[in-house]
Amino acid sequence: MKIYVDGVFDGFHAGHALQLRQAKLSFPSVHLIVGVFGDELCHQYDYPVTLPHLERYEVIRHCRWVDEVLEDAPWTVSEDFLREHRIDFVALDEGTSIDPDVDRTRLQGYDRLKSLGRIIPTRRTAGLTEGARFVPTAPARPSPVVPRAEIKEEEPIPEPIDIYGIGI
């Protein structure tokens, strides 16, 4: 049984991992395929990304629930795409159809798959922070300057202490 999940996966967090876990455990023997949207595709549909495509791809590739990663996933999942990759179902968050962040083009593709009975609903994890979405580029406040102690040349530098007996 092959199940497909797609997404941007920018700022991968526990909610993403739990969605992938739900998809993987939805049937006894599942081969989970995850599609990661490329940078160009995200920019084409005005979806802001903070991490480059390669990093997002690698994070998904190293998730324990994922069996296969499609590097340049299509923005809209079609029947031809499912047939080409021999995908049985698409796992989709229950609130996707009312989420204002989801593009209308993607929603039309998902609605078509729903009418064919090819969607497996997954539940969004409540209580997770949405703030992890945007990675700050600079610290909020500057670090305080700590004065360095000056070592005079005539003072001996103490030897490190080996408290565990393993050598230094």
Q: How confident is the model at residue 145 (pLDDT cuts 50, 70, 90)?
A: low
What stretch of H or E contains 113? helix 104-115
Question: Whole-model pTM above 0.95?
Answer: no
What tokens were used for 119? 């969607």
Domain boundaries defined on the chain: 2-128
Looking at residue 81, its pLDDT comes to 94
Domain spanning 2-128, CATH class: alpha beta
Rounded to an integer, what distance in angstroms lies between the CA atom of residue 21 and that of residue 91?
11
The residue-averaged pLDDT of 3-22 equals 91
